[in-house]
Amino acid sequence: MSVYPEKLAEIIEDIQSITDPYEKSEVLIEYADQFREVPETVARRPFPEEHRVPFCESDAYVWVRQNPDGTLQFYFAVENPQGISAKAMAAILDESLSGQPPEVAAQISPDIVLKIFGQNISMGKGQGLMGMVGMVKNLALRYVSEDSRK
Amino acid sequence: MSDILKKGYAHSEVLVSTEWVEQHINDPNVRIIESNEDPLLYASGHIPGAVHVDWTADLNDQVRRDYIQKEQFEELMSRIGVTPDMTVVFYGDKNNWWACYAFWVFQLFQHKNAKIMDGGRLKWEKEGRPLTREVPTYPRTEYRAPERDDSQIRAFREQVMEHLKAGRPLVDVRSPEEYTGERLHMEGYPNEGALRGGHIPGAVNVPWSRAANPDDGTFKPADDLRKIYLEEQGLRPDDEVIAYCRIGERSSHTWFVLKYLLGFPKVRNYDGSWTEWGNLVGAPVEKGPGKPRSG
């Protein structure tokens, strides 16, 4: 069984405790409403391909910057205006992983997508969201390995 | 409707416009059904009066890989207050991809009065038409359906094999990377994958979304569709065609295009698709770029 970073574990626990599918959707939509797009100081359109999330048909992008204290800040863009799930996922990842040391994001695994969205997610959509999680993890791993080389 | 008629489809009666739908929001003989890939979209706002049909929860068997049976379909239709005479209108995200998928499953149970709203959610939203988060409830009906009929619009692997041996056309609607075998599946997600990459030998590659206008999600006019499927890919108007993708959802969009918009006489969707074929022991596989059909 995977061990999740504390904030993420709390979010997952909260979402999993909701049994009513409509209520669960409401909570996820609230996250989507909180989604903040990458600021122009970090990236401008057209966004570079290397930041595009593989397999995500909502045209999602991920960036990371290291804060002076060594923690990471993640930024996201979702180009598909109807990519509500992608926005919700991005907002959850931002809330739980930004401002944390690289090791925190490096320990996440794509199975959180199914924990959060459950059976309501299509395989294709799941793959896109897992791609986003995988990209966040891989970006964080770069900083973990850089730290370990120092 | 006139805009749709102008597009020159073989069976334009299966499409309705966003305007028509807005005029029929309160029509007791019309049930509007939203089907999306994104499970949050309906709850985030939908056409007033529209019900939600979720492909995983409502259309798929929850244990084995198959669609629902007659009894579950009857229960679904009764729950959303539909009678056999009612017109159901599907719409959704992604150029109506999932709306076409739901439409296809409904045709396995021969609900004849079924239509797609051309342009789906994208066009509706772009036109600033009303959306609500209020979930409607309708009086329950006692819908009676015939047994599911897989023989006309659904293909199984043995039939695909026969089709292949007979040299009949197959349309692979996946991305070029999936078709050539360059992309197999995402590492770590075996449910999405196949042990072998490539395509069914002889299949032409027309990614499903080429049939739609990306700006508003509407289907391209018949002339444009003919250019793609007939002129470019070499299909003939009297061909029997099987379409497939990875799990049969994208190909239901192409199935709809070929059957209703271009009027091909027999089109089947191979829902086993690449997640079955690419795992079948001994199944013939071709890799690399394809070529149009000739002769």
Summarised one tens digit per residue, pLDDT across range B240-260 is: 999 999 889 999 999 999 999
The answer to whether residue A72 scores a pLDDT higher than 90 is yes
Report yes or no for ipTM above 0.85: no
> What fold characterizes domain B2-126?
Oxidized Rhodanese; domain 1 (3.40.250)
Nearest chain B residue to A120, by CA:
B39
Under an 8 A CB cutoff, do B56 and A83 touch?
A: no
Q: Which residues of B touch A (CB under 8 A)?
A: 37-44, 54-57, 93-94, 121-122, 125, 135, 186, 188-189, 191-192, 246-247, 249
> pLDDT-derived band of residue A121, with 50, 70 and 90 as boundaries?
confident
- Model confidence pLDDT, tens digit, residues B29-51: 999 999 998 889 999 999 999 99
Please say whether the beta carbons of B183 and B267 come within 8 A.
Answer: no
DSSP H helices, A35-122, are 84-97, 102-106, 112-117
Topology agreement, domain B2-126 and domain B157-277: yes
pLDDT above 70 as % of chain A: 93
Q: In the annotation, is B100 catalytic?
A: no
> pLDDT-derived band of residue B20, with 50, 70 and 90 as boundaries?
very high
Q: Domain ranges in chain B? A: 2-126, 157-277
> pLDDT-derived band of residue B295, with 50, 70 and 90 as boundaries?
low
Catalytic residue among B77, B164, B245, B258: B245
Can you give the pLDDT at residue B191? 52
CA A32, CA B40: separation in Å to the nearest integer?
9
CA B174, CA B206: separation in Å to the nearest integer?
7
Burial-class residue B103 by CB neighbours within 10 Å (0-12, 13-18, 19+).
Answer: buried
- Model confidence pLDDT, tens digit, residues B70-85: 999 999 999 999 999 9
CA B176, CA B290: separation in Å to the nearest integer?
9
The answer to whether residue B86 scores a pLDDT higher than 80 is yes
CA B45, CA B50: separation in Å to the nearest integer?
10
- Model confidence pLDDT, tens digit, residues B217-239: 999 999 999 999 999 999 999 99
> Which residue from B39, B188, B246 is facing A121, i.e. has the nearest CB?
B39
Can you give the pLDDT at residue A120? 61
The answer to whether residue A98 scores a pLDDT higher than 70 is yes
CA A150, CA B280: separation in Å to the nearest integer?
49
> What fold characterizes domain B157-277?
Oxidized Rhodanese; domain 1 (3.40.250)
* CATH architecture of the domain with range A6-149: Alpha-Beta Complex (3.90)
Range from A76-80, A109-113, A115-119, B83-87 carrying the lowest mean pLDDT:
A115-119
Can you give the pLDDT at residue B235? 97
The answer to whether residue B18 scores a pLDDT higher than 60 is yes
